[in-house]
Amino acid sequence: MTTAEFSLAGIVLLPLLASAVAVLLGSRVRAVLGILTALLICGLCTAVLIQTAAGGITELALGGYEAPLGIRLRADGLSALFLCLSAVVGTVVSAHAAILPASAGHPGFWPLWLGCWSGLNAVFVSGDLFNTYVGLELVGLTAVALVALGGRDSWMPALRYLFVAVLGSLLFLVGVGLILAAAGTLDMEQAAQQLAETPEAHAAAVFALCLMSVGLVLKLALMPMHRWLIPAHAGAPGAVSPLLSALVIKAALFVILRLWLWVMPLDATTEAETGLAEGLSTALTALAWTLGGFGALAVILGSVMALRQDRLKPLVAYSTVAQVGYWFLFLPLLLDPEAGALEGQPGTTLAEDAVLSGALSGSVALALGHGVAKAGLFLAAGLLKELWGTDEIESLRGAGRRHPLLILSMGLCAVGLIGLPISLGFTGKWHLATSAVAAEHWWIIAVLVLGTLLSAGYLLRGIAPLLLQDAKDPQDQEHDAAQDADASAESPRRQRLAEVPAFVLGLLTVLTGFLAVGIDALMGVGAPW
Amino acid sequence: MEVFAGEGAALWYLLLGSLVAVAGTVRLLLARDLLARLVAMNVVGIGSLLVLLSLGARAESAAPDPVLSALVITGLVITVAFTGLGAVLIRRIEGIHDAEHAPDQAADGDQISSGQNSSEQDSSSTEGGRDS
Amino acid sequence: MTDLIPSAVLPWIPLVMVVLSLAAAVAIFPMGERRVRLRSWVNLSAAVAKVLLVVLLVPAVVAEGTRPEFSVPFLPLGEGESIDLVLRVDPLALFFAGLSALLWLLTTIYAIGYLERGSDRSRFFGFFSLCVTATVGISFSGNLITFLVFYEILTLVTYPLVAHWGDEKSLRAARMYMRYALSGGVAVLIGVIWLTMYAGPVDFAEEGGAEGVAALAAESPGVAVTIFVLLVGGMGVKAALVPLHSWLPSAMVAPAPVSALLHAVAVVKAGVFGIVRVIDDVFGIEVAEELGVLGPLLAVACFTVLYGSYQAMRQTELKKRLAFSTVSQVSYVVVGVSMVSALATAGGVVHLVHQGIMKITLFFCAGLFAEVIRAHTIGELRGAGRRMPWTSAAFTVGALGMIGLPPTAGFVTKWQLGLGALDAGQGWVVLVLLGSSVLNAAYFLPVVWMLWFAEPEGESGEAPDAGASDEAPQPEGEPQREKEPGALVVPAVITAVATLAVGLGAALSFAPLQVAEAIAEAVFR
């Protein structure tokens, strides 16, 4: 077993073990355990990352059983990227929760979060759909419980989330069953091969893809199915919302990417010329366009809704709904046979396969950038709510005077979410836009432009009033004093320190903007083309 | 009754499962009472598992696919875990309702919350068993 | 001359110059409000160091033709290739960087004096330094992507500066600025994406534009024209070309040093600088001419020149009048570069510097009038000349420069542009220049008259009790001489002197005009 293989197992099992141990410990020791686990996960992640960056796919058959019966863990470029996201965001948010226990809501945070982390990593390194399903469920179950930590106002949202999560899982599960029946295996690689070779299984596979996509999209809160997300993410405790928005929904996204690009033999289903295949290809194209259309809808309507919020956390939650839309815009490109028409033509600078791989890297970069930036923004918003007792933008006027670092962090995160340079948000939009131009899908450009401007609008609306200085208004100062008295539960030094994690995420939002080339190279490891 | 054996039976179960699942979904979306929704959620679960089982029976080999059975069993366990969590949440939410009428009971909240956490942990480690 | 900087160090200098002000910003942000001395020290030493670096680069770049370059991979392009962030120093870059370095130093001195009793100074100076970082980045950008990156950063970091006072009005103005600038930025982004698709990553080419773009223009002129419109239109927002200018007058609520910087070197200038780059170094002036895009641009620019002047005349508030004057004056640059003539291009390019020096003088003075005698409208300036002679003298020089009277910098520009217009066979532009000069005179001369020749209205009028006179009791009826704070008045006087100096010494080597001519010659080579 090499270091990378050992790390692959450790990354899943370690947090699970820690989660179990944490239940037995007192609440203070839990935080210490949590931080230790986080650091170890970072180390393990680095090992996997190094192996992947060197161009190798790490594989491990647990217990020595090979597929189809055994469980195979597998990390390619996509896995490595999402693993790193969860390691970085998870560690920073854990640090925040350790510094300011109030932000975790309840000591139950630690076992639940560590369990959730294990589930996330399991999804990211899973080589078969069974394992993916179990990981997704672990994530869903713990996420619901984490939302419920927010106190009585969050119980109802948590229940709503639970119903949605279960419905989504069951749809996914039936899809998994269909794939198993069609391909005879749940191992993703083998299933892809089987499906590509047996045209008669395509109908079942396409139907499975429909079911699974709908199920996952429910968990991901794509536009018409987004209602549950707002109260759940806005009502969760300060340290939980960032995890939900940055990581939990990414698990579903990751599975969608895997299914569409790695498992489905899209070329085989769209290129066959029999009558049935034609029907299937139409169905697939329709599905892709529906999801892409929902994505566009989400970007625009989600942003408009965000513009209309008067409270900070719901605003940030709606921004998540809007950003989710971006990750679906590239699907119609996948099935457009004309998409790569310009590749290699004289007069352009496109390389072979540049359009699709660009669109995919762009979407992944957007998702990763969103993870870091949204975690930072939610942390900051949660902390403000913690300190001021409210997240109404109107009552937070002038908060910037007392928390300049926090506002700066929010500004940096906003750069990433709007998609301004230098950030992964910019890189992602650049990629997506270049691919869209090359494939002559102009609607994507329109959505990107509208989304960018609207997001600047709602983020400014949320952040700018914090810069207002009403120092001359004595009433407000009294108000400030009252808020101060409220917040004195934690020592001022701790409060200052608690601003640091959000700032770290803000800085990372900008610094990761320089990693675009590396991310693209990683995406090439184990790419579907 | 040829239809109720072999391939035919599987087809019937497939239809039945789908019907149950769809009915449950409709109820889940329309019901207002929380407990009714929780039950509906379980109905959807049973319907989906039925569909899965029938898929396994449709396979040409004589013995049902072991992987599918494992899938169904895991699905069952997970649905149970979710149902438990849902039940705890519903009890809490109803508890608020009661507390509004009798404010003294509000102090119960913490007690329930710790209970919820340990049961929560149990269920997650059950799944973990499959993982390791 | 090479001994001045070892050649191994040379490529790092552009990076060092960008990092220098970035480091200053990072150092300043966490400083306590009261560490005035330390903050000023950091600010000034970074600014001085930057001026020195520019001076060191001048002989190597302008005389010897070396092009220090630093690059780092940024966006992947597939097949292991990437679009790089490139910092490269060519004469035009150095020209703009020199202006920003010099004016940063002066504005910093001014701002330290101006905000002596203000609040949130660490934030202010932090973002101020970031603003300069972005400006230097823009000037050294070696390709469109790098330009775009710094261009957007500039938008962002100016926002807190415009919103500095934190009242409703500032925030509204800042929001408007953001809305305009971001929309423009998006247009530029789409243009850059599109261009990259067809022509690959486009490096700024000093001599006659990039090859890929020329091929594109020959093959599908429609696409090339659309890209040109997107790029220039997007940059036109920052350059305040009519009808994209309305954010500029409302951004006047910002503190005086910010307005000065915004108008003279940072935002507005970044816009025109970008337009110059696009016309001369991306498309190349011949290609642009063949595409037929220069004529319409020239018309828009001429209209902006006249419309800005006309609006300026109608303003009674001094800062608003100056703002519209900027709208008008900055367009001279566009007028110059959109005429096909080396003389005109030189006139446009040199106006980058000339307008900067003159306008910053005027804004320094406007800030002084507002601070010392609380004069915000032109009527309130009655008789200010005797109360604030240094300020008023500097203002007068700046105003005469704007009108274009010899021997000021403004005259040099207009003369050059006029020659260029004749050379390019666009005689009507001379009429526009003359008309604009008349309008300039019509809105600046009354102010000058007000300063020196109008009798103060009433005895004390708006005069505040602060700034008591240290001279002997004045004769009855004479207004008191106000104390003009040194930190504020010295930069104003220096820029006023510079306005005269660059006009008088236009023929000396390394004078702005000479450098501009060299740049223009390269464009037409």
What φ, ψ does residue C484 adopt, rounded to 5°? -95, 115
- Chain B hits for A62, Cβ within 8 Å: 132
Residues linked to residue C70 through DSSP beta bridges, in sequence order:
C87
Spatial neighbors of A523 by CB under 8 A, at least 6 apart, are A77, A78, A81, A357, A360, A361, A364
Other beta carbons less than 10 A from residue B35's beta carbon = 13
pLDDT-derived band at A351 (thresholds 50, 70, 90) equals: low
Spatial CA neighbour of C265 closest among C106, C69, C404, C486: C106
What is the arithmetic mean of pLDDT over A256-275? 76
> Count of CB contacts below 8 A, A vs C?
112
Per residue, the 3-state secondary structure of A180-234, as one string, reads HHHHCCCEHHHHHHHHHHCHHHHHHHHHHHHHHHHHHHHHHCCHHHCCCHHHHHH
Encoded tokens for A517? 């080339």
Residue C459: per-residue pLDDT: 46
Please tell me which residue of chain C has the smallest CA distance to A397.
C166
Spatial CA neighbour of A171 closest among A127, A223, A132, A208: A208
Q: Give the nearest partner residue to A158 out of B37, B89, B118, using CB atoms.
A: B89
pLDDT at A69 over 70: no
Between these two residues, A529 and B51, which has the higher pLDDT value? Answer: B51
CB contact under 8 A, A108 and B131: no
Chains touching chain C through at least 3 C-beta pairs below 8 angstroms are: A
Instruction: Give the largest CA-CA distance in chain A.
Output: 78
Q: Does any domain span residue C519?
A: yes
Q: Between β-strands A58-62 and A71-75, what pairing exists: parallel, antiparallel or unpaired?
A: antiparallel
Residue B132: per-residue pLDDT: 32
Mean pLDDT across chain A = 87
Encoded tokens for C158? 């100016």
Q: Does any domain span residue C277?
A: no
Q: Does any domain span residue C518?
A: yes
Local confidence pLDDT in tens for the 525 residues of chain C: 445 667 778 888 889 988 988 898 888 887 777 788 888 888 899 999 999 998 888 888 877 878 888 888 888 776 667 888 889 898 899 989 999 899 889 999 988 888 877 777 888 888 889 998 999 999 999 888 999 999 999 988 888 888 888 788 888 888 899 889 999 999 999 999 888 888 877 788 776 667 788 888 888 888 899 999 999 999 999 988 888 888 888 888 888 888 888 877 888 899 999 999 999 888 888 888 888 899 999 999 999 999 999 999 998 888 889 999 999 999 999 999 999 898 999 999 999 999 999 999 999 999 888 888 888 888 888 888 888 888 999 999 999 999 988 888 999 999 999 999 999 888 899 999 999 999 999 999 999 998 888 877 654 444 444 444 444 444 445 567 778 888 888 999 999 999 999 889 888 877 888 888 888 888 887
Residues linked to residue A58 through DSSP beta bridges, in sequence order:
A75
pLDDT-derived band at A390 (thresholds 50, 70, 90) equals: confident
Rounded Cα distance between C69 and C66, Å, is 9
Residue C508: per-residue pLDDT: 84
Task: Characterize A462-479 residue by residue with b for buried, 16 or more Cβ atoms within 10 angstroms of its Cβ, and e for exposed.
Answer: bbbbbbbbbeeeeebeeb
Picking from A18-22, A103-107, A338-342, C242-246, which range would have the lowest pLDDT averaged per residue? Answer: A338-342
Please tell me which residue of chain B has the smallest CA distance to A183.
B59
Spatial CA neighbour of C293 closest among C242, C230, C356: C230
Residue C48: per-residue pLDDT: 92
| pLDDT (tens digit per residue) in A442-456 | 999 999 999 999 999
Q: For chains A and B, tell me whether 3 or more CB atom pairs sit within 8 A of each other.
A: yes
| pLDDT (tens digit per residue) in A196-247 | 888 888 888 899 999 999 999 999 999 889 999 999 999 999 999 999 999 9
Residue B125: per-residue pLDDT: 39
Spatial neighbors of C133 by CB under 8 A, at least 6 apart, are C18, C21, C22, C25, C153, C157
Residue ranges making up the domain that contains B55: 2-131
Q: What angle do CA A6, A12, A15 make, to 5 degrees?
A: 115
Picking from A41-45, B32-36, C263-267, C442-446, which range would have the lowest pLDDT averaged per residue? Answer: C263-267
CB contact at 8 A, A209 and A285: no
Interface test with C, best of A520, A522, A529 (most C CBs within 10 A): A520
The total domain count for chain C is: 1
pLDDT at B117 over 50: no
Q: Is C425 exposed, middle or buried (0-12, 13-18, 19+ CB in 10 A)?
A: exposed
pLDDT-derived band at A470 (thresholds 50, 70, 90) equals: low
CB contact at 8 A, C158 and C177: yes
- Chain A hits for B107, Cβ within 8 Å: none
Q: What angle do CA C294, C299, C301 make, to 5 degrees?
A: 90
Between these two residues, A93 and C7, which has the higher pLDDT value? Answer: A93
CB contact under 8 A, A148 and B89: yes
Q: Length of chain C in residues, anyone?
A: 525
Q: Could you write out the DSSP letters of every residue in A29-49?
A: HHHHHHHHHHHHHHHHHHHHH
Residue A414: per-residue pLDDT: 94
Tracing tokens 């090359």 back to the chain, one arrives at A438
Rounded Cα distance between A401 and A477, Å, is 12
pLDDT at A487 over 60: no
| Shortest alpha-carbon distance between residue A142 and chain C (Å) | 37
Residue B128: per-residue pLDDT: 36
Q: Between β-strands C69-78 and C81-88, what pairing exists: parallel, antiparallel or unpaired?
A: antiparallel
Q: Is A415 exposed, middle or buried (0-12, 13-18, 19+ CB in 10 A)?
A: buried
Chains touching chain A through at least 3 C-beta pairs below 8 angstroms are: B, C
Spatial neighbors of C70 by CB under 8 A, at least 6 apart, are C11, C12, C14, C15, C86, C87, C88
Residue A109: per-residue pLDDT: 94
Identify the three-state secondary structure at position C442: helix
pLDDT at A474 over 70: no
Residue C62: per-residue pLDDT: 79
Residue C396: per-residue pLDDT: 93
Picking from A337-346, B46-55, C8-17, which range would have the lowest pLDDT averaged per residue? Answer: A337-346
CB contact under 8 A, C197 and A358: no
Residue type present at position A106:
H
Spatial neighbors of A421 by CB under 8 A, at least 6 apart, are A513, C148, C149, C152, C153
Residue A344: per-residue pLDDT: 58
Q: Peptide bond before C407: cis, by omega within 30 degrees of 0? A: yes
Picking from A368-382, B36-50, C31-45, which range would have the lowest pLDDT averaged per residue? Answer: C31-45
pLDDT at B129 over 90: no
pLDDT at B106 over 50: no
Judged by a CB distance cut-off of 8 A, whether residue A306 touches chain B is no
The total domain count for chain B is: 1
Residue ranges making up the domain that contains C513: 329-459+482-525
Q: Does any domain span residue C377?
A: yes
Q: Give the nearest partner residue to C190 out of A349, A445, A467, using CB atoms.
A: A445
Rounded Cα distance between A405 and A383, Å, is 12
What is the arithmetic mean of pLDDT over B63-70? 76
